[in-house]
Amino acid sequence: MSDTDADTSTNSGTDTTIVELTNEAGWLAAYPVLSELRPVDEATYLEYLRAMTAEGYRLFGLVEGGGAATGSESFAVDDSGAVPPPEAFVAVAGVRISTTLYHGKHAWVYDLVTRPERRSEGHGERLLSFVEAWATARDCAVVELASGLWREDAHRFYEGHVDYERYCYTFKKDLS
Write out pLDDT tens, residues 41-51.
999 999 999 99
Q: Which of 75, 69, 97, 70 is nearest to 22 (CA)?
A: 75
pLDDT at 153 over 70: no
Q: DSSP secondary structure string, 118-170?
A: GTTSSHHHHHHHHHHHHHHHTT-SEEEE---TT-HHHHHHHHHTS--------
Residue 164 pLDDT grade (very low, low, confident, very high; cuts 50, 70, 90): confident
The contacts of residue 118 (CB under 8 Å, 6+ apart) are 90, 91
pLDDT of the residue at 1: 31
* Model pLDDT for residues 10-31, shown as the tens digit of each residue: 444 568 899 999 999 999 999 9
Strand runs labelled E in 42-145: 58-64, 89-100, 104-114, 142-145
**Average pLDDT across the chain, whole number:** 81
Residue 69's SS3 state is helix
Structural domains for the chain: 7-160 (3.40.630.30)
Supply the pTM of this predicted model: 0.80
